[in-house]
Structure 1
């Protein structure tokens, strides 16, 4: 080896080490070749997450339509792949009417299940409910795309994304998704549930992205948003919001070893759920290990995240709820959860008590240390227990996270995350 070659190799090694020390990947010639750095959250454990970095030229795709994306994901099963998304892919160009089952009539549905006619003490059933469910299944077939193992899905440039579609990372492994703006899909056929709460509720399907039963998943520098269809634009029926959104991201049904870093979650109600059911101990206990770091949760109402069962490490995130945000809580403490929430920054609407940052759904221990609320140190557990003495939280999650490439002072987090998180901001 020549002296010049040796010097070049040494320099490249040093650059890679600096990149890893800074918490970001050592960039290859294109972001599609990036892999998750060592010790960067739960997805770096047990062999790490490389996605489609090993893909050859024949399995490197550039797609500009939803159909091309689904074809690229389905092509040659088992091969590592890189799928580069160029522009915005619209999964819903066919429109709601194209999914409707023969005989489905929304006006008839509203008349049949009006609480004045149906009541509020039993779930809806009958012809129109069956047709609604069939219509919803038709839409699901059109708007879901399944991401296979050993895949990197990455946006090209600053304006790549998906609208109207639901990315399914289902029962697979080793997946990377980066640099995409994912606009929450609209469910054309929400279900009316008169038994949901005191006055009933409309419930919808289709999360922007779902990690279900999968391992080693890295979601980085994406933006999740309701985009052109915020809840404020949706109508109401029976006196309740006609909710056409589900979650922005769900990690559920035995998913494990997931790192969610440098994303933006914006303008949404039920944002991020880790563990979908209190009754899922058989699949979820010992799994649902998820790291959330350097994410911006902007003007979201709740579930940022709501946790069941999992060992979740949430640090250096910024929870920013501006004026007018219908803020409920940020961290939901659920059954058998072991949440560690450290060195996060929280900015609340004026008049909102800091005790609401945590919400107890079920008794479970939680570690909350070094957090700031409105720029001031805050003992989130003590504040919660003082504001909600009938729902006390226990301190001490029972484990100490070690897979953290960097931990920033929470005073710096709003600036760091504000300038670097989200799609279009890959370095």
Structure 2
């Protein structure tokens, strides 16, 4: 019986925790994470990512541990660890391979376990790298003693509509029988059903192109934003008009950070280059989006000078997370925006009510101002429109120095009445 199966989820971040909690409703499920602080928090029913509330954690039968040896043998091992890029934007598979070695040490002869990867990788990693490493560590034979599967994660931090228990899960398996076993597992999790990919490589490829496609579309809008700025045209006005066409794709300009869209295209580009292909469009999109923070800072700086600013001044940066209404700091391009303003001579204070101040200091060397209260800011930049910041924005406008201006990166204040009449306002 499928309900008698045991599952171990390796990695309890934004992806792993919601999945593990959902699985625990139907299976004996263990959550394994190397971060002792993370496990301690979850045992206190606190999820720092904000994806699972305390009530759900308290009610869940999910078992938590940092010790692989404490886990019993399992039928399914699901790897949900990060796959970042290094300083040269090359895939860093170190974490996923470390998790692979952990699983390899847990596999047992005769169990015929299935190891499923949800971490984003380029096509071929699961079978050509992870499988052989599992064999090496376990001493077992892939395809006989244990089997492989791949089901790309589709977690969207802060999204309460497209949750793991509602979305369609793409699945793949090493054999038809393994595929059906994986289908049975995920069908217990989601009401959105499963899509059986033609192969593991097809499922891996589907994930990287989902995010590469979005990255390229945003890059196009960022490029036209810069073009229209030269024409004294607001891109928001242009998009509102163009959006009335039935097949116009409604993407918006902005800073592209986070662990998926700003990272995954580099995985596909890396593999393409290895194969002798030139991923020109993919890398052009990445170049445009990675340069957006510098463009914003320079354009705002020049606008400020044209409209009465007397030079580089003091900036209050509102928001540091990579997107609104989440505490996730991974690959935040607001950090690049801060650095760009500093490079132009501005002094920058950062305020974000959602993010962890120690994490911001550790990741970016930025101190979070918990309650800005001095009325001497030349610019107030609404970089991340957290609901809390937008709804109470009027309290920040009182911190502007005479002649100061407001920068609304995502046009979040339009029609809100939060920006005082007569205050100079920059938006894309």
TM range (shorter): under 0.3
Q: Quick check: which one's helix share is greater? A: 2
| Higher RCO (CA < 8 A, seq sep 6+) | 1
What TM-score, normalized to structure 1?
A: 0.27
Q: Quick check: which one's strand share is greater? A: 1
What TM-score, normalized to structure 2?
A: 0.27
